Chain A
């Protein structure tokens, strides 16, 4: 398990660097697909099989296909990497340093001090992962699920409206 995690962590970091670093957008998109598939396997290690399936279907499937379609359709140029003034690099470096310092703080504070719940991996696997999450979704989290459904409807209507409209 530890070896698998080490390999996956290295894979995630390399592909994330590819998302940020490659110059051609299609390579960025393919790096992101690889990144999302690696993340799905990390969900498997974390005993979240439902999240694994959702990640592969929704992210690596639907969202990234949309990205690749749009890249193929628009064919954006490859020379749009660097900022004209160079200010963006300064912001990026400053943010990166600040966040790296925060991550260093995490190394000194390793304990996870939340209250333990009752859904241990054994308890979840006894009823089945999808059943356990479905029960939680439609009982405890019913309101967020309803809000998410309205959000998806609004997004679909908005996308259709934007696609129909001709702007000058």
Chain B
């Protein structure tokens, strides 16, 4: 399946969690994936063996642009980490469409300045919608989240998502 025209900027969360699931390949369905060096460093601290080179659409941004003043204020107020700040700076400077992050505060900042944000769960569901994985594979990945990953969710909340996906996914 052809990749979409979407340029996405990655924060460490989805990178770490998809790697923990052994499914980094789900990120191949974007035209470009921009990964700030600070994000890669954070991901490598958690997953030293992570292999981004396996993805053909990745560009590592070694020098992140400065964060504009409006974003800097929000980032300070919400105590964002270096990787999250770098990801926001890159999406603002490069004009990406999506910020891929599992951090509620980073996503709030991105939303506040008009960017779409999505996280690991959205990416797993999307990969089924886009035909990258079957419905049963998608449901299996959702069930594996609390076992294999460090994405912390309340059991009841995740069960609701799995039930919804079982009913509504094709």
- Tell me, yes or no, whether A binds B: no
